Chains A and B, each alone.
Chain A
Amino acid sequence: MTWLTWRQHRKQFLFAIIGLAVLAAVLVPTGRSQYRAFDGSGLAACLRTMGETIDYRLADTDCHEPLERFSAEYSGDFAPAVLLIFLPLLVGLFFGAPMVAREVERGTHRLVWTQGTTRLRWAVTKFGLVGAGALLLAAAYAALASWWLYPIAVAHAGRFDYLAFDVQGIAPVGYTVFTVALGTFAGTVWQKVLPAMALTLVGFVGARVAVELARPNFLPPVERRFPVVAYTFPNPMLSDWILDRNVYDASGQVIVPGGDVFCDPPCPEYDPAAYNVHLYQPAGRFWLFQFIEAGLFVALAASLLALAVYRVRRRIA
């Protein structure tokens, strides 16, 4: 069965490796120059010196100038990063969807399931090996993307924000395993390759959007309050994921919805008692959230694979 799986899927893996090499050929040189600029602009060093809060009485503690220098060169590079979120989908479409669907579409399941082996062994070996291959591939591109994205992510909205979170760490590995399982399951339901791919696409988008909406509430957000009129305010470069921000006056009425205000004293425009409120997920929870996200998708993948094995054993002829 191992030999058969390798023989059947070796071309797919070869193409995937080529794809990975092309991706690396794009990301490694751009990443290297990005890191050079990250260090050369002084941004990397500056970010290391920043504390929990910024004090405006001290010169340049907000790393404003190195950030400007860095952004001048690399602000545009965040856009192609969006494409990276589709990598798990590609793997799911081309590894997962044909796994069962192509066999049934071409009738070859009747060849292989009538040899001296069980469907359980067939399914477990094939799903297991192809899934493991997809997982290795995902680990490679997730590591590549994490490394590449780090400077622009910390220089902009932070690593925890939407899109940045989704292409770094172990989350893409979870998405990939999930999408392969989804494609496999879809192929056992609609036993043709193209419809199975369509189901995979719809399921992937649905699951990703649903979890994206749930993610802010994986853990209860933390609240912080700090005055509008002050010399110090929280460091915005910490990659905290700020979910909601509002400015209140002394009586607790919102005076600036969806924003925050900092004003050096003396500040005639604002009541000294006015304060900002942030609802946020602290940057320190980044990896915890990565594990929750990946775990959620791996659990979904496990259930889908179990269903796919059941359908292979009992529902397809």
Chain B
Amino acid sequence: MSTAFETNGLGKRYGRTWALRDCSLRVPAGRIAALVGPNGAGKSTLLHLAVGLLRPDAGTVQVLGETPAANRALLDRVGFVAQDAPLYRDFTATDLLTMCGKLNRRWDAALARERLGHLRIPFDRPVGKLSGGQRAQVALTLALAKRPELLLLDEPVAGLDPLARREFLQTLMGSVAEEGTTVVLSSHLLGDLERVCDYLILLQAAHVQVLGSVDDLLAGHRVLIGPRRAEAKVPGSVVHASHTDKQSTLLVRTNGQPIHDPAWTVHSVTLEDLVLAYLADASAGALPGPVGIEVTR
């Protein structure tokens, strides 16, 4: 399977603080990847490195097989919507379409007009006067009309109400499904993305904590519930444990090994539980890094 986005030991520093460090990851082509992590985890930094807004201080970043920094040819093939969907607020949608049509060599004007028309977004009002949801749609349309091979969206739904979020993601999925576009969407909440993504990158404190296809991750983890014991012996590694007086709940990375101990009731895990378990314990290091996950693919 070809790779749409890959980093090796990637690092970016602001002054003495590393916003992103030792970041190695790979997103196969055709995936819808959720880039999840708390605020300040380095999500925006990673996306900015991918789209060439930033240059790495360490390691390498490869997008569609190319280095992004100052790479005009690559920018033709990558769609990007920055956080808060920045647009020239006094421009109308028509102005913005004209602008992007003139700046990009690959530009599907018909697709853009059709999409905005379908969403009933007024063409002749300054976009500053549109609702947040409509602005986000305009920004997404500008990115989609480049017919990108890779679409990078930085917190695309952060400012939207729940209804607008759902609608935004639905239309996004509708637009990328046919083309097989690879998408990376960031969010500090998984909930927004859970239903649409099939790949997960979990960033925490400037590091990659979890990486892999959602199916593999779900198959490789189990929730075990059983009587409280001083020392739980389970196959695999415990990601997160919580205890009441009588009972222990463990989220375990089993990597597919069966649980034979009858003392445990075994449940499958939801993606949200999995993410929360890892986020709760940044130091647990329960996951032996992205490499382990890659091997299972």
Contact = CB atoms under 8 A, between A and B. Distances in A.
A3 interface: yes
Interface string B74-102: 01101010111011110100010011101
Contacts of A225: none
B82 A115 contact: no
Given A3-B99, A4-B103, A108-B87, A119 B70 contact: yes
A116 interface: yes
A33 interface: no
B99 A114 contact: no
B99 A117 contact: no
A117 B103 contact: yes
Interface string A1-18: 101100110000000000
A111 B82 CA distance: 7
A122 to B, nearest CB: 9
Contact of B51 (A106, A112, A114): A114
Contacts of B84: 107
Given A3-B102, A115-B103, A317-B54, A107 B72 contact: no
Interface in A117-131: 117-119
A314 interface: yes
Interface in A1-54: 1, 3-4, 7-8
A119 B71 CA distance: 10
Contact of B98 (A3, A111, A119, A317): A3
A206 to B, nearest CB: 28
Given A108-B87, A110-B53, A4 B72 contact: no
A3 B142 CA distance: 17
Contacts of B52: 114
Interface residues of A, number: 21
Nearest to B68: A114
B113 interface: no
A117 B102 CA distance: 9
A156 interface: no
B104 interface: yes
A313 B70 contact: yes
Contact of A116 (B53, B86, B139, B146): B146
B103 A1 contact: yes
A281 B83 CA distance: 60
A118 B102 contact: no
B48 interface: yes
B83 A107 contact: yes
A310 to B, nearest CB: 12
Given A3-B102, A317-B48, A115 B88 contact: no
Contacts of A113: 53
Given A106-B89, A107-B86, A114-B80, A314 B55 contact: yes
Nearest to A107: B86
Given A111-B86, A116-B146, A314-B55, A7 B103 contact: no
Contact of A4 (B51, B75, B83, B102): B102
Contacts of A116: 72, 75-76, 103-106, 146
Contacts of B54: 317
A106 B86 contact: yes
Nearest to B107: A116
Contacts of B95: 7
Given A108-B88, A114-B78, 5 more contacts: A1-B102, A4-B99, A110-B82, A110-B86, A117-B72
Interface of B: 48, 51-55, 70, 72, 75-76, 78, 80, 82-84, 86-89, 91, 95, 98-100, 102-106, 139, 142, 146
